[in-house]
Amino acid sequence: MADADLLPELPELMLSLRSFGSRRGAPNESRAMDEEQQHFFAPLLDGRRTAAQAISRPQIVAAFDSRRLAALVDAAVRQFAAVRFASQAPARRALEAELFEIIEPLRDALTVLASLAEAIPIEQSSAADEQWALWLAQLRVVFRIADTSWPAMREALASSTPPAATSTRWPPGPRGERPR
């Protein structure tokens, strides 16, 4: 591999994650919420770990494959809703919709990251360096948006705990139907 292909150190991305691991917004947060936070940020953190081992730009770009990251974040959102409302499909879909609204800016940022990745020329040149700088700047944006999305996610998740024993709370209505 030519010296021109070797990379300077990957820029610091973790500084953008101010809410990751922080309890400032919710000091009494449950252990389950901590695990959900880790699950939400895992795709970015795994990408960062993989990219730190990379020796070429294509390897770094591959570590942050936008389609894969979006799919993993989407899967996390669906899992969060499924855990809370496994047997209540309407409530699960409503929570999913709310969470997907929250992460829409993150998904948009990943789409931009993908388009910038496709525009990075293979050959080493000043145009390639310029595109690379744009891609790195957008990667920082992705991390920042993920971070700013988490407090709203945390709030939505915390407020969406299903009520305990809803099936026994209300007596059956006329003809044995439950009130709606």
Give pLDDT tens digits for 127-165. Answer: 788 999 899 999 999 999 999 999 999 999 999 876 554
Residue 25 lies in a domain: no
116 vs 61: CA distance, rounded Å: 10
Which pLDDT score is estimated for 39? 93
Residue 72 lies in a domain: yes
* Contact between residue 104 and residue 145 where contact means Cβ atoms under 8 Å apart: no
Domain count, the chain: 1
Residue 173 lies in a domain: no
Which pLDDT score is estimated for 85? 95
Which pLDDT score is estimated for 176? 54
Give the list of residues 6+ apart from residue 25 with CB closer than 8 angstroms, or none. Answer: 19, 151, 154
Helix or strand run (H / E) with residue 179: none
Number of H helices and E strands in the chain, helices first, is 6, 0
Domain holding 151, by residue range, is: 31-161
Residue 10 lies in a domain: no
b/e for 119-152, b at 16 or more Cβ within 10 A? ebeeeeeeebeebbeebbebbebbbbbbbebbbe
Which pLDDT score is estimated for 1? 40
Residue 36 lies in a domain: yes
Helix or strand run (H / E) with residue 110: helix 89-118
pTM of the model: 0.77
Residue 35 lies in a domain: yes
Q: Please state, in angstroms and as integers, the Cα–Cα distance from residue 37 to each residue in 2, 23, 69, following that order.
A: 40, 11, 15
Which pLDDT score is estimated for 54? 87
How far out from the chain centre does Cα 175 lie? 46
- Residue pointed to by tokens 């030519």: 2
Residue 9 lies in a domain: no
Low-confidence ranges of the chain (pLDDT < 50): 1-6, 27-28, 165-170
Which pLDDT score is estimated for 126? 74
Give the list of residues 6+ apart from residue 12 with CB closer than 8 angstroms, or none. Answer: none
78 vs 71: CA distance, rounded Å: 10
Residue 166 lies in a domain: no
* Contact between residue 154 and residue 41 where contact means Cβ atoms under 8 Å apart: no
